[in-house]
């Protein structure tokens, strides 16, 4: 499954166009490597996403073409959430 579609269906990011934009700006990594929106996602992959001043790391648990809101949480497990603190 494409990365941008996975991020949308799992509801980590609300819109596919936003998921594509975030990935193409280099703010998404799969297994430690920077990933484009067209990158292939497999079960067991670790995805790290930088949202502004927060970094979220999840493990892909399932791939589904569509989900209900309640089922979306089953597609990934949260591994880490980290706040970026800017010194100034």
Fold topology of 3-83? 3.10.290
42/35 Cα distance (integer angstroms): 13
Q: Please give the distance of CA 23 from its chain centroid, rounded to a whole number.
A: 9
What pLDDT was estimated at residue 20? Answer: 95
Query: Model confidence over 51-80: pLDDT tens digits?
Result: 989 999 999 999 999 888 888 889 999 999
Whether 88 shows a pLDDT value over 70: the answer reads no
Opening angle at CA 33, ends 31 and 10, nearest 5: 55
Q: Dihedrals φ, ψ of 32, to 5°?
A: 90, -10
């Amino acid at each position: 499954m494409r990365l941008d579609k996975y991020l949308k269906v799992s509801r980590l990011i609300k819109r596919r166009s936003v998921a594509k934009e975030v990935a193409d700006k280099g703010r998404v990594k799969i297994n430690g490597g920077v990933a484009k929106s067209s990158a292939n996602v497999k079960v067991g992959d670790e995805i790290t996403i930088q949202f502004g001043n927060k970094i979220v790391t999840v493990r892909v648990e399932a791939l589904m073409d569509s989900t209900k809101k309640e089922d979306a949480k089953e597609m990934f497990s949260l591994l880490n959430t980290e706040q970026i603190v800017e010194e100034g």
